[in-house]
Structure 1
């Protein structure tokens, strides 16, 4: 069937076109200058302008109506709008950290900004995809840029190891996803989610081929979002990658991966297979427990937050399962989106603090290194405390309300045991989130931020902390707005 490209298609994908065009600006100027790097601040501003333009266009042309482009391969609905803007905002914050982090600034900053915008382009494709092949294209566009950026770090050992591990296991996950896609195409004759949206529930029962396919696709995403037992790459890659890229992966990459995962779960396939439904529930519980338990044992701050992110993937999976079995899926999906909004601010802020304490590309920040920070830098210590308390789910921070909406949706669908396990896991998590706070305020030490300029990173930290408090205070209207956009 011949698909004609219309003006409306081009208007809808204008955020992606804008990102692509702006991404070319820094490297083109570098070439025209005889391969000499322009002022890094100018390069940063160019990148931020591209992200802002894309976010504005996405907000204008996406919405609850759910317009589609390119023969229904892309859909621009509430999920696209919210998840895309979260990812672009997280990318902007991470890019600010890249500008001042010793592992990333230097003679290749134009290439870093180009790859960041290219990765963000893949994220927008992924978040709006309604076709399994488009999801694959989005995943690879996003991931290939990340592999390169991690490998380009000035750190000479851990970053190279992290890039290789991420590349190999990322490729393995993509292969599993494609294998599942082939099964689904063989059983339905289509890779478009809209085509088999209504029939997926019955196909899982009647077609063993479709069941295998949807299972492999789900396993592929479990790798991408660090669901146990497919999580082993996460702590090593998060630790080895430059801290701004770790922030980028933990916020933007996780957001868009869950967006695509949500679209697949929304086909209601879980309702047709009790076994698949049960396995996903157990994976959610095990992920929450393993992530929080392993984080207790860590002294390296980045590894601790990495295991914490695994636990948070378990919480979000509870919301996905709820959306997958709910007659009115918007409540479960709204909980997922709201949680990802809160998680982006919390995690970006936490990694920004870690980035500020790195004097060189080889610096390793441990929990004990925070001793004395409250005395020397009281504002930064307060901000870090807010991030940690929000990650732990302590009111009145937005992290508490994020968990509240997720678990409330689960209870509403009769998944009480999942909500109970989620709350118990959160209690376990409180221990290791409080540990850095105790070290900052109760122990004497020489904690100090790096000597180089950190003005932009400081602004990022302050904005994140303020947003966490404000979003917690107005969580009700925001959640209502998210829910309305999905109806």
Structure 2
């Protein structure tokens, strides 16, 4: 009885102390949190403002330029702040829910610039202007804010909040073209499969929590992923399977061709670049923490199989399609397999700086190439039908040489041909994989990269070596559209070439030390109470007096 009273008293004190110490630092974080997470807050506030401006817009079917100005301003402000902010010491807020470090800063820069690029390119094409309605601009800003939350998350709950904020926005954006059955079909498929992936993530998180009592990425070092702990092993596999869906890694890729084909091309570029970049950063954070006891060979084999199957499926299935968007969708599946080289390398050695650098550089390079390629595709689709076929690009080299040159730059980048940035990305991936002994997977990458050259070169052959026919895409855009699209396409192509010549030095010089995580005071204090109670019981038993 004395022991029970003692435990209850100590537990009450523990809870009272925990609430007092954690309330102000976690639920009500210090002012530095609001300053360091300003890019996220700017996008969220901008989304609310564009939503309110949409109430006063009389014609919902036309672009709302006041909302577009707000969206451009907050994206530009978020990018400028992220570029010029300096983080001397990595910091954790909200109980490791938000980590502010160099990884977060680089992610904020890429996402803010990518959002700004999408908004600018959308305003220059007839098809893209459909994205400039207030409600759609609100969804784009909320989606970008969710991506930033994902990249800065240090534990599962905040990551899942960011993921769902992004996913729900994209489900609506993909099917916003209410008059096209193809867009609605893509949206429904994306929603159903996305819900299945979210269920896998939640189940995996529940199993991990049952194993270690925590959802912080830093606490995964306590997790035993051997067959002796099936809950922990199954939880890890479910989480990585759910993330593989978002990256469109085979066999979780079935949604990608339909969604890429059915969505607006500007939006497709946004999804193909920023969403994949953000998921890669999340996996970088998870794998940078060494798992606990147990053989990690199973996890390495999973990434090995994912990578090999994804590279093979993306390279082979892209050969049999004529739709430009479906070809680029299967190209994204193959490139998702390339990410698995870095994932396997990190799983083998979480402290490998080379693997982290290769993953970060390839994620940024792939984002630049994808956004640039789909921007040029949207330019060619303007005043034509969406979802162009290869044959419809015949003669584009003579009618629109600037578009053909920039698209060729991005296709060479996907193929990994120097001096475009894609060469450096694949080179670093191969180097890190070979250093970890993944020779077989590296050979598969090289062989299927050569095979995928066929459908990249077949597109360029249509543009440059085939004469124009009556089925070729027309080039009757306005001078304003042509000038604007030339500018944004040039910016993306210039970035791809400069990175290819100079190399991704920003990825090499980045500090990959994650923010120091806060201690789990409640768990630690509860454990100490439990130990004190046990010692008290032992004293009572040994000293009956």
Q: TM-score, normalised by structure 2?
A: 0.84
Alignment match of 1:448 (pick from 459, 474, 478): 474
Deviation at 1:21, TM superposition (A): 1.1
Q: How does 1:207-218 map to 2 (within 5 A)?
A: 207-218=229-240
Structure 2 CA distance for partners of 1:74 and 1:23, relative to 1, 3 Å: same
How much does 1:205 deviate?
5.9
Cα distance between partner residues in 1 of 2:486 and 2:234: 49
From the CA coordinates, give the structure whose radius of gyration is larger: 2
Q: Does 1:461 align with 2:489?
A: yes
Question: Aligned to 1:119, what secondary structure does the other structure show?
Answer: helix
Q: Which moved more, 1:283-292 or 1:300-309?
A: 283-292
> Is residue 125–residue 138 contact of structure 1 (8 Å, CA) maintained in 2?
yes
- The separation in 2 between residues aligned to 1:314 and 1:162, in whole angstroms, is 23
The reply on whether 1:266 has 2:294 as its aligned counterpart is no
How many residue pairs match? The answer is 484
CA distance in 1 between counterparts of 2:78 and 2:421 reads 26
Report the CA distance shift for 1:362/1:165 in structure 2 as closer, same or farther (over 3 A): farther
Deviation of 1:122 (Å): 0.4
* Paired residue secondary structure (2:221): coil
The equivalences for 1:45-444 within 5 A come to 45-60=69-84, 63=87, 65-106=89-130, 109-153=133-177, 155-194=179-218, 196-200=219-223, 202=224, 204=226, 207-269=229-291, 272-326=295-349, 328-359=351-382, 362-444=385-467
Give the drift of 1:476. Answer: 5.3
| C-alpha RMSD over aligned residues | 2.3
SS of corresponding position for 2:387: coil
Which one is further off, 119-128 or 472-481? Answer: 472-481
Cα distance change on mapping 1:358 and 1:257 into 2, 3 Å:
same
Question: Offset of 1:255 from its aligned partner?
Answer: 0.6
Distance 1:268 1:285 in 2: 24
Deviation at 1:465, TM superposition (A): 0.8
Most deviating of 354-363 and 273-282? 354-363
* Separation in 1, partners of 2:365, 2:63: 33
Q: 1:373-392 CA distances to partner (integer Å, 9 max, x unpaired)?
A: 11111122111111111110
In 2, the alpha carbon distance for the partners of 1:335 and 1:450 equals: 42
Give ranges in structure 2 of 5+ residues lacking alignment. Answer: 1-17, 515-545
Q: Aligned partners of 1:441 and 1:319: how far apart in 2?
A: 35
| 3-state SS in 1 of match to 2:154 | coil
Residues 185 and 450 (structure 1), Cα distance of their counterparts in 2 relative to 1, 3 Å cut:
farther
Q: Using the alignment, how far apart are the partners of 2:51 and 2:437 within structure 1?
A: 53
Instruction: For residues 145-196 of structure 1, give each alpha carbon's deviation from its aligned partner in whole angstroms, at most 9, with x where no partner exists.
Output: 11111221255210011111111110110010000000011111111112x1
SS at the partner of 1:357? helix
Q: Given the two structures, how large is their TM-score scaled by the length of structure 1?
A: 0.93
Corresponding residue number in structure 1 for 2:506: 478
Contact 1:30 1:37 in 2 (8 A): no
1:256-299: per-residue Cα shift (whole Å, max 9, x none)?
11111222222334973322221221110110111011111110
Gapped runs of 5+ residues in structure 1?
none
Query: What SS does the corresponding residue of 1:68 show, helix, strand or coil?
Result: strand
Cα deviation per residue 1:12-38 (whole Å; 9 max; x = unaligned)? 322211111122223322324556789
**Deviations, residues 219-240 of structure 1 (Å, cap 9, x unaligned):** 1111111111111111011101
**Aligned 8 A contact 1:155 1:361 in 2:** no
Counterparts of 1:428 and 1:272 in 2: how far apart (Å)? 35
Separation (CA, whole Å) in 2 of partners of 1:37 and 1:357: 23
Deviation at 1:107, TM superposition (A): 9.0
Question: Would you say the 8 A contact 1:103–1:153 is kept in 2?
Answer: no
Of 4-13 and 134-143, deviating more is 4-13
Rounded to whole Å, the distance in 2 between the matches of 1:21 and 1:443 is: 50
Aligned equivalents of 1:323, 1:317: Cα separation in 2: 10
Q: Distance in 1 between matches of 2:504 and 2:142?
A: 35
